[in-house]
Structure 1
């Protein structure tokens, strides 16, 4: 478990036809981000949709510094898909982000354009300034580097996004599609019923169309057997679990193995 500062970005893993493995840090802790880098993971998922810091505050910078310290990538889910939010995260130094609650290809295309200086040979909508991502104007090849390294993906977690999936997959410079089965189950009218036929069919549609289009596919792993099966099936970004889930499982095992009395909850 030696520390390494060699970059392990999600884009690099995808370009190498490898699988990027990571965890969702539900504590938003720079210390844990740094630890996960030392443990050899490829990314830490920072979810700003359901909680966490604002991109306008300093906390996201602290998380980025921790990631940079041990060469791990932050996969940041933005709180919304507004271009201003996308630009803010990228200007802080985020390399990999993905969009929540998408309803149409238009939303995705607008966000992708806002993240790039050039898109498919035409001007993008990224603002040119001297933010942290440019090391405050000291990076000579800033424009080229940003367009080369930035990875913008989207979740598909609504009925509308599934219906517009073909158009979403045709968007130039789309980095990946991440399947969101839980929110998709809500959108389809079966909250939490991941085994419901409508939910299973929708997930299978997203998976098959994304793989057929050659767009990198991401998703949740439900145990390591499921992770390995999904990697074999073509997934390229896989979340192994959450910080709080790992801690709860470990503590439960310790307490269950204790022979003495324990308090009731």
Structure 2
């Protein structure tokens, strides 16, 4: 089914590899997409939870992404039907679902994002997500069910306590730990290297391995990210567009200002 672009990140996860990506929080130009692809990232996440990306901007990003070797993902503001299904309809290849704590939430997410017989997502076949091509509906819906990447974010102590139940739901592809919110609920806000956080990360990895789901996390430190890849994280997000830009620009400005002058 050539009309639907292969999901690069999901393919890597299926093959037991690591998929790496970053989060887009500030740059609203879809020119960001070919830059990220050229840089070698497997996926990017457009953050529609904490940032103001409208449907038009989102659609532009997803449309450009169809022509680049990178998986387009969106973190929705809330994992409810009209946001999940509509985001897929504008072309996202995957979804990040925040604040998931119960098995019932995961089951509902699958129902919202999968076509029959796996779920109840409404079918709109000829659109951005199918490249506006004339496809066989039955074949297309089956392909879309296979290629859509569904990821939940455990971000609280309760979600970690329930992690076995969460990752046992059929149709879930990966887990993407939200470390700052999680650390907050553990009483150690921002301390992502704290022993309690390490314990939570390890618990998620063990549960995911048991149920064939890819464990993942969003981190800001390169050294920490590499450490957790070695320990078993396979869906790894590093920093944001804003953080990469600020770190690079700040370092360059400091170096130039420190250079000797006549």
Distance 2:191 2:166 in 1: 26
The DSSP-based 3-state class of the residue aligned with 1:70 is coil
Q: What corresponds to 2:172 in structure 1?
A: 174
Q: Structure 1 stretches of 5 or more lacking a match?
A: 1-5
**Shift in alpha-carbon separation, 1:11–1:195, aligned structure 2, 3 A:** closer
- Offset at residue 173 of structure 1 (A): 1.0
- Offset at residue 29 of structure 1 (A): 2.7
- TM-score under structure 1 length normalisation: 0.86
Contact persistence 2:204–2:215 (CA under 8 A):
no
- Offset at residue 136 of structure 1 (A): 4.7
Q: What corresponds to 1:112 in structure 2?
A: 110
**Shift in alpha-carbon separation, 1:234–1:201, aligned structure 2, 3 A:** closer
Q: What corresponds to 1:128 in structure 2?
A: 123
Contact persistence 2:205–2:232 (CA under 8 A):
no
The DSSP-based 3-state class of the residue aligned with 2:67 is helix
Give the count of matched residue pairs. Answer: 251
- Offset at residue 246 of structure 1 (A): 1.4
Indicate whether 1:11 and 2:13 are aligned: no
**Shift in alpha-carbon separation, 1:84–1:252, aligned structure 2, 3 A:** same
Distance 1:34 1:102 in 2: 31
Distance 2:231 2:57 in 1: 37
Q: Structure 2 stretches of 5 or more lacking a match?
A: none
The DSSP-based 3-state class of the residue aligned with 2:141 is helix
Contact persistence 1:20–1:236 (CA under 8 A):
yes
Deviates more, 1:124-133 or 1:90-99: 124-133
Distance 1:202 1:106 in 2: 21
- Offset at residue 90 of structure 1 (A): 1.1
Distance 1:124 1:178 in 2: 22
- TM-score under structure 2 length normalisation: 0.87
> How much is the aligned-residue C-alpha RMSD, in angstroms?
2.2
Runs in 1 of length 4+ with deviation above 3 angstroms? 134-137, 195-200, 221-225
